[in-house]
């Protein structure tokens, strides 16, 4: 039996964790206004949160917008995010039913106002039951809370600082409220995110609050069972931060995603990164001293302009020395509008492909080795899907399929699969 349904909105994320968190905020606002979240094929409105991190990502953005705008139901497509900030006119020209709203905080209200200004009879369709969990409208069991935006660094491969603007931090009182709200929706773990998370700073002078102060405030003012940090820069792995993590009794996840990009100092210099491998090594040792089981994640770019075979080998050897448990590996993608796009000695695609293959091979081997170190140890895992959970160190964990999703489950790791998945007993 069919029934009328309210306006439907589809939300499409392209890009980083911060984009996903921003999309969750839009989804929450739209649901509160009576919208139903659905797939693109059934949507009256399609919101696309765009990504400009590489030329390839920008091309995917344009393709996604054209594809959404051409759907038979003729939805109104709202483009927002980094590409919308940089190339609003170009995106608007892709189709008559595309609108560009660069400010993400205005997107939900923009869609709501359009729906109110253009009332139509609800379409007849099969009864729709949202498939998402109780924690976020978009079905995520570990919701994110954005605490910072923008970046003051000027890495030569990056355009995000142009799209996002200068670094700015959000009011800690509002962050406390958001964490409490996530807990009220059933969240056991909350992920703190930002474009340059470690650059969080609120206030001025001696009383200025940095990231460790924000974490301490959240531990004191909320009952959140586990906080997790998204990626941070190497200089931000401070003594104060790691001591707080170690003393939190698991309430701050024992995981640090520290952005590396290259394990070769010559390449880091051409990237205009704000550290060298010596500082990276020193801060990893600082983290492991109070937290021997801390898991490390990182980002690695292979094939950066001018990277020689010897420099790649140096980078790979440094990664192995650091014992990363999780690596995001990217082939360098020429991003128009950045200094690196004009560098000489662009690396041939076939060379990048081989370097990527070897880096992925190393990453898989290290992940299995790091997982094996945890066998016999206890942890709390968040069940994300039937039979699947995630550990404090962000390892995949096999659990009893009968355990409900959105459960925080104490386990002992009894073994490890070949792919690095831990098995709970």
Q: 184-212: per-residue pLDDT in tens?
A: 988 999 999 999 999 999 998 888 999 99
Question: Is the CA virtual torsion 261, 266, 272, 273 positive or negative?
Answer: positive
SS3 191: strand
What is the pLDDT confidence band of residue 53, given thresholds at 50, 70 and 90?
Answer: confident
Q: pTM of the predicted model, to two decimals? A: 0.87
Contact 270, 305 (CB under 8 A): yes
pLDDT of 32 > 50? The answer is yes
If pLDDT is split at 50, 70 and 90, which confidence band does 140 have?
low
Contact partners, residue 420, CB within 8 Å, separation at least 6: 364, 367, 368, 370, 371, 395, 396
The predicted model gives 218-247 an average pLDDT of 97
**pLDDT over 90 at 126, yes or no:** no
What average pLDDT does this structure show over 68-77?
93
**How far apart (Å, rounded) are the C-alpha atoms in residues 230 and 255?**
9
Condensed to tens digits (0 to 9), the pLDDT of residues 299-337 reads 999 999 999 999 999 999 999 999 999 999 999 998 888
Q: What is the mean pLDDT of residues 234-253?
A: 97
On the question of pLDDT at 5 being above 80, the answer is no
Q: List the single range of 21-25, 33-37, 134-138, 266-270 with lowest mean pLDDT.
A: 134-138
Residue of higher predicted confidence among 54 and 187: 187
Residue 125 in this model has a pLDDT that exceeds 80:
no
pLDDT band at 2 (very low <50, low <70, confident <90, very high): very low
Separation of alpha carbons 11 and 43, rounded Å? 9
What's the whole-number mean pLDDT along residues 55-82? 92
Sign of the C-alpha dihedral computed for residues 143, 146, 152 and 158 taken in this order: positive
Mean per-residue pLDDT over the chain, rounded: 91
pLDDT in tens, 94-113: 999 999 999 888 999 999 99
The pLDDT tens digits for 260-306 are 999 999 999 999 999 999 999 999 999 999 999 999 999 999 999 99
**pLDDT exceeds cutoff 60 at 129:** no
Q: State the average pLDDT over residues 44-72.
A: 91
Query: Residue ranges of the alpha helices (H) in 185-306?
Result: 211-221, 239-247, 265-271, 277-288
Between helix 277-288 and helix 239-247 the angle, nearest 10°, is: 30
Look at residue 340 and give its three-state secondary structure.
Answer: helix
Rg of the chain's alpha carbons, rounded to an integer?
22
Rounded to an integer, what distance in angstroms lies between the CA atom of residue 124 and that of residue 71?
Answer: 18
Q: How confident is the model at residue 130 (pLDDT cuts 50, 70, 90)?
A: very low
């Amino acid at each position: 039996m069919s029934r009328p349904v309210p306006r439907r909105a589809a939300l499409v994320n392209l890009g980083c964790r911060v984009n996903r968190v921003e999309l969750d905020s839009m989804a929450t606002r739209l649901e509160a206004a009576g919208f139903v979240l659905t797939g693109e094929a059934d949507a009256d409105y399609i919101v696309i949160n765009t990504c400009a991190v590489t030329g390839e990502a920008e091309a995917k953005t344009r393709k996604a917008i054209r594809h959404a705008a051409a759907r038979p139901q003729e939805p109104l497509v709202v483009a927002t995010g980094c590409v919308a900030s940089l190339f609003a006119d170009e995106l608007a020209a892709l189709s008559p039913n595309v609108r560009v709203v660069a400010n993400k905080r205005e997107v939900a209200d923009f869609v709501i106002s359009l729906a109110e200004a253009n009332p139509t009879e609800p379409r007849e369709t099969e009864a729709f039951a949202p498939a998402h969990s109780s924690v976020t409208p978009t079905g995520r069991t570990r919701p994110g809370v954005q605490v910072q935006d923008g970046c003051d660094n000027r890495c030569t491969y990056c355009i995000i600082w142009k799209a996002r603007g200068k670094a700015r931090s959000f009011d800690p009182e509002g962050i406390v409220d958001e964490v409490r709200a996530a807990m009220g929706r059933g969240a056991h773990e909350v992920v703190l995110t930002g474009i340059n998370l470690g650059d969080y700073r609120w206030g001025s002078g001696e009383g200025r609050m940095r990231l460790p102060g924000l974490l301490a405030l959240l531990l004191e003012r909320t009952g959140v069972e586990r906080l997790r940090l998204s990626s941070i820069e190497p200089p931000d792995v401070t003594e104060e931060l790691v001591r707080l993590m170690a003393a939190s009794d698991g309430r701050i996840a024992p995981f640090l995603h520290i952005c590396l990009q290259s394990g070769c100092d010559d390449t880091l210099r051409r990237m205009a990164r704000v550290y060298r491998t010596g500082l990276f090594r020193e801060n990893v040792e600082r983290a492991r001293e109070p937290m021997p089981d801390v898991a490390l994640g990182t980002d690695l770019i292979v094939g950066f302009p001018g990277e020689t075979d010897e420099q790649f080998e140096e980078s790979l050897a440094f990664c192995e020395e650091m014992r990363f448990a999780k690596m995001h590996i990217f082939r360098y993608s020429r991003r128009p509008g950045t200094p690196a796009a004009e560098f000489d000695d662009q690396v041939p695609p076939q060379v990048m492909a081989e370097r990527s293959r070897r880096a992925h091979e190393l990453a898989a081997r290290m992940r299995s080795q790091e997982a094996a170190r945890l066998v016999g140890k206890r942890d709390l895992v968040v069940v994300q899907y039937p039979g699947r959970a995630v550990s404090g160190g962000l390892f995949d964990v096999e659990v009893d399929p009968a355990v409900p999703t959105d459960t925080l489950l104490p386990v002992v790791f009894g073994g490890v699969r070949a792919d690095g998945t831990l098995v709970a007993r």
